[in-house]
């Protein structure tokens, strides 16, 4: 499986609840297949299994809890993800932070059941620490820019290039994404030019009046 170039995180937006989550996921798949640009979607946990069953593109969880099967009320375990057609999971998103020892354990447990891991980091320094844990990918997202209208590639390009350099120095096999404020094709082009493999997106797509048009614009410069 090729690493996605565009990863769309549905978060907990109303625009991605119930049937709307399925419609958005299908739009992402349509654009991905027609354009040839690899994409992945991260729907809310409630609709994760259902969406994973009907899509051909990778479906990621938004988070995972590093616990074994058993007495763990309310948790989402790696084994649960494995029991669906889920391909991977985000870990340590800025809106769902967990301690470093839990990140390490989550990566290890996901690896055991062949679930890809994308660990989020706030900057190059944290990304380097995460790279030492050997996830499949790392997404750098400065928290202050998440959900805003200024892309990290414009606000501080060195965050992206510095993260790429820091991660590759530790493990060149780790895929690097960037996110926070990425909303246009120019933003995506800039991210790739700065060395990132792709982008992690959310509100710019999920809350758009026409998500398909936005997605097509986002990949127009690739």
pLDDT digit string (tens) for 118-155?
A: 999 999 999 999 999 999 999 998 887 776 676 788 87
Q: At what angle do helices 157-170 and 124-131 cross, to 10 degrees?
A: 20
Evaluate whether 142 touches 159 at the Cβ level (below 8 Å): yes
Is residue 86 pLDDT above 70, yes or no?
yes
Q: Is residue 1 part of a domain?
A: no
Average pLDDT over residues 193-206: 94
Average pLDDT over residues 22-50: 97
Evaluate whether 75 touches 67 at the Cβ level (below 8 Å): yes
Catalytic residues: 93, 141
Q: Is residue 188 part of a domain?
A: yes
Q: Is residue 74 part of a domain?
A: yes
Q: Is residue 141 part of a domain?
A: yes
Domain that holds residue 36: 6-218
User: In this structure, which long-range contacts are made by residues 13-18, counting pairs with CB atoms below 8 Å and at least 24 apart in sequence?
Assistant: 13/202, 13/203, 13/206, 13/207, 15/206, 15/207, 16/43, 16/44, 16/206, 17/44, 18/47
Q: Is residue 195 part of a domain?
A: yes
Model confidence band, residue 1 (pLDDT cutoffs 50, 70, 90): low
Does an H or E element contain 33, and which? Answer: helix 19-35
Q: Is residue 180 part of a domain?
A: yes
User: What pTM was computed for the model?
Assistant: 0.95
Separation between Cα atoms, residue 27 and residue 22, nearest integer Å? 9
pLDDT digit string (tens) for 148-165?
A: 676 788 878 998 999 999
pLDDT digit string (tens) for 7-32?
A: 999 999 999 999 999 999 999 999 99
How many domains does the chain contain in total? 1
The CATH number linked to 35 is 3.20.20.70
pLDDT digit string (tens) for 70-81?
A: 999 999 999 999
């Amino acid at each position: 499986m090729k690493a996605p170039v565009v990863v769309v995180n549905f978060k907990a937006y109303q625009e991605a609840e119930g049937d709307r989550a399925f419609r958005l996921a299908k739009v992402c798949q349509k654009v991905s297949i027609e354009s040839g640009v690899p994409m992945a979607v991260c729907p809310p946990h409630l609709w994760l299994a259902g969406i994973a069953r009907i899509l051909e593109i990778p479906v990621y969880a938004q988070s995972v809890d590093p616990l074994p099967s058993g007495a763990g009320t309310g948790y989402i375990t790696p084994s649960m993800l494995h029991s669906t057609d889920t391909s991977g999971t985000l870990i340590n998103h800025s809106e769902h932070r967990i301690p470093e020892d839990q990140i390490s354990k989550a990566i290890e447990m996901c690896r055991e059941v062949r679930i890809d891991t994308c660990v989020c980091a706030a900057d190059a320094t944290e990304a380097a620490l995460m790279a030492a844990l050997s996830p499949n990918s790392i997404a750098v997202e400065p928290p202050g820019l998440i959900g805003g209208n200024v892309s990290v590639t414009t606000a501080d390009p060195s965050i992206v290039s510095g993260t790429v350099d820091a991660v590759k120095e530790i493990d060149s096999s780790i895929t690097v994404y960037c996110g926070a404020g990425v909303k246009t094709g120019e933003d995506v082009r800039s991210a790739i030019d700065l060395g990132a493999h792709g982008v992690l997106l959310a509100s710019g797509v999920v809350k758009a009046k026409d998500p398909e048009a936005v997605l097509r614009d986002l990949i127009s410069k690739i």
